[in-house]
Structure 1
Amino acid sequence: MGCCSVTQRHTGVDEVGPDEIELLELSGDNLGVWSLSENRVQLSVRNSRDEQQLPCTASVRHLEQEVVLWGRTRDELHHRIYSQQPIRGWEGQPAHVYGEVIHSSVVSLYNNYSEEQSERFLLLFPFHLLILSLDHSQEDFIYEGVLPVSGLSVQAVSLQLDVSHPTHMFEITSAMMDTKVFTCASAGESQRWIQHIEDRRYESMIQPMSPSQCALSYLLPCDENWKREELKKYLMQAPIWNWEGSPIHHMGQPGHISIVHIINTQRQGLQERLMILFPQDLLLLSVDSKRLQIKYEGRLARQSIKAVERSALPGRLEFELRGELLETLQVSCTCVEDYQAWIFHLQQPDRDSHIIMSQPPPPLLPKLQRNRKESQEPILAGDQCHINGRS
C-alpha cells in the first residue's frame, strides 16, 4: 500500500503553500495578513493603491522635516519656543500655555510708509497669533506681540510692487491695532495662512477660550502692581467688543487702572467696570463673569469731567463724576489706594495749570505825558527806561 503525501501542492487558486503564507505579512485591513481567498489581481490592486498613498504621507513628513530657518526644521523651532528658552522681550504667559502650533512660517512684514519689508516668524496657535522678528546674527527671536485671533480679520491683498515678480500678500486688521501686511513665499502659502486664520477665528466664536487659556482671568482683579502693568499691555492688543473710534493705542500710554463699581443717578443697579486713565480720556470697559471677554462701554474726555468727593466717612471710598454733558455717575472704589489715585487725577482744581498765564504789562504812558515826567524826574525816568528795556 503506497504512502500519500500530506503536503499541499501549488495548485488551485493561489499556488502558495501554508509555509509560505506565514511570510506574507502585508499592510491591510486584516491585521497585515494576506488571506487565501485573495488572488493575485486583488493583491496587485492593493499594492498599487498603497503606493499611491505613500507619496502624500511622505510629503507631509518631508514638510515637517524641511529646513525652515537657521538650519532647523519647524519641529525644532517649535521645540525651541516651547522649551522656555529666553526670547528677547518676551511678555506674558509661556508659549506652551497657548496650545499646539497650528501653522508657522517665515514671512515678510510690509511697511506702508517706507515700502520696506522685514522678516518675521509667525506661529498660529488655536486662539492666538504670535509674531516674532529675527536676529540672524545671533540666530535669535525677538518678541513683537501675541494677537487673539477672535479679534482679527484677514484677506488677500495685491499691491503690485513689481509686475514682473507678483507678490503673495495677506493683511490682518483689528480695531485694536493698525493693519499689518505680510508677504509669503508663494500663493499657496498665503492662502494657507488666510484659511487657517479664518478657521481659527470661526472656532473661537463657537468654542471660546477656557479661563486657563486667557491671560485676563489671571490679571483680574488687578490688586497688585505687576497685574496692573500686565493688564495695561494686554488691553493694548486684546479684542474689545463693540469698540468705537480709533485703535486703542492711539489714545496714548495708559495711566492708572482699577476695577470700580458705578451707579448712575437713576439707581439702575451696581455695575462693575474696568476704568483706565489715558492722557486725554477716561476709558470704561466691562468684563464678562468668566473673565474671558472685554466690552467697550464708553470714553469720557478728561477736560469735561471732574471728580467730587461725596463723603468723608471712614470706609466710604466713593466720589461722583460730573460733567456738562454727562449724567452724574457715582463711583465706588475697592481700596484706599485706588480712591486716592482717582481723586488726585480727576479732582485737580485747575486742569490747565500747566499753562502759565503771565500778567499783562502795565499800560504805557502817553508820549507827551512821559516826556514831561522825564524832564521833571530824570533819575526815575532812567530807571523806568531800564525796566521797559528801552535805551
Structure 2
Amino acid sequence: MKRIGFSGTLDPITNGHMWVIGEARSIADEVIVFLSQNSTKQPRFSAEERRAIVLESCAERQWNNVQVLIVKSDYTARVARKHGVDYLIRGIRTTADFDYENLIQQTNVEVIGGAKTLFVMPPRDLGSVSSSFVKALEGPVGWNWTTRKFVPAPAYRAWILSWLHKEWQALFPGEAAGQWFAKLTGADAYGGATRHYHNLDHLVHGLAEIRAWAANTGAAERDADLMRAAFWFHDAHYGHEPAAVSNEEASAQLWLGSGLEADAGRAEEVATLIRATDHLQAGPIAHPLKDALLGVDLAILGQDEEVYGHYARGIRAEYGHVADERYSEQRNRVLEHLRGKASAGTLYADPWFAEQYNEPAIANMTWELGGNAGA
C-alpha cells in the first residue's frame, strides 16, 4: 500500500495514537495524519500547535514518512480521497469503540464516498490511553509524573508548559509578565538542557504541592500566592560553580529586579522566602511561611519509589561533571543529614508536610543510600 491516513483531534497526541501511526507505517510507504479542526470543540492546543507537536513526536522517532494536514470544515474521509488516500486506519480498544467506528465507517463510504477504514487493536498497556484520559489526570499532586507515561515527550512538554502558563497568568497577568514567563521556562532557567531535576517538572510538582497545602490547611490566598511567587523564582538561577553569592541569593535578586511586584514590602517577603530555600543558609531566616515552602521544596523526598528514583537520577545527571566516587561521597553526606533530620522529626517543620511525607522520605533516602538509585 502506498499511502494510508490517520485522523483525529489529537489534543494531545498520546502513545496510543503513536502506536496506530506506527502500525500504519508498517503497511504503507507514506502516512498522512489528518488533524481535525472542529469549531464546536475547545481544544487545549490550536490546530497549528497540534500539528507541530505531532511532527516533532514523529521526528523524535525518525519517522520521516509522516506528514500532517489540517482538515477544516470538511469530512476527513472525503479529504483523504482527494489526497490519494483510499484507506484510513483507526484503533479499536473496546466494543463501544467498535460500534462507534463501524457507524463512522459506513457513513464515510456509503454516504460521502470517502476513504475506507482499517481497524487495528492496540496492545493491552495502551488499551485505556486516550486524550480524554490524559486530560483527566491533570491537577493533583504528581499528575505530571503520571501523565508523562502516556504521551510522547513533545506532547508532554507542551502540556506542562500550557498548565504552567495558566498558573503564571493567574499570578502575574500582563504582557510584561509574559516575558518573564518565557525567561523562566526557557533554556537559561527551568527549561535548560542541563536541568535534569530542577526543571519544568520541578515547577509543576511544587506548584501542585502549594495548591494541595493551601486546600488542606485553609491557608489564606495571599499566603499561597507569596509561596507561588517564591517557588517560581527559587531555582531560577542554578549554577554549579563557586560564586560570590548562593544560587538562592542570585534567584532572590533576579526576583527583585523583575518588577513583577509593585508593593516593595510584599516583594521583599517573596525574596526572603526564596532565600529560605537555601538548605545550607549561614544564619536563620525568619518568615511565617518558611516551613511550608521548605516542605514544598523537600516534598520530592517523600514521593513513591518510581518518582523518587527519577528524581535521584536527575540529580546525578545535573552533577554529571562530578566523578562517581566524589559524587557518591557528597550525595551520601547530604542524604544522611536529611535522613537524620527526618528521623528526628525536624525535616518537615510544617505539620501537613510532615504527615504526608516524613516516613516515605526516610524509606526513600535509605533506599538510595543502599546504592539503588542508579539501577
Query: Which structure has greater strand proportion?
Result: 1
Query: Which structure has greater helix proportion?
Result: 2
User: If the length of structure 2 is used for normalisation, what is the TM-score?
Assistant: 0.25
Structure of greater relative contact order (alpha carbons < 8 Å, 6+ residues apart): 2
User: If the length of structure 1 is used for normalisation, what is the TM-score?
Assistant: 0.24
| CA radius of gyration, larger in | 1
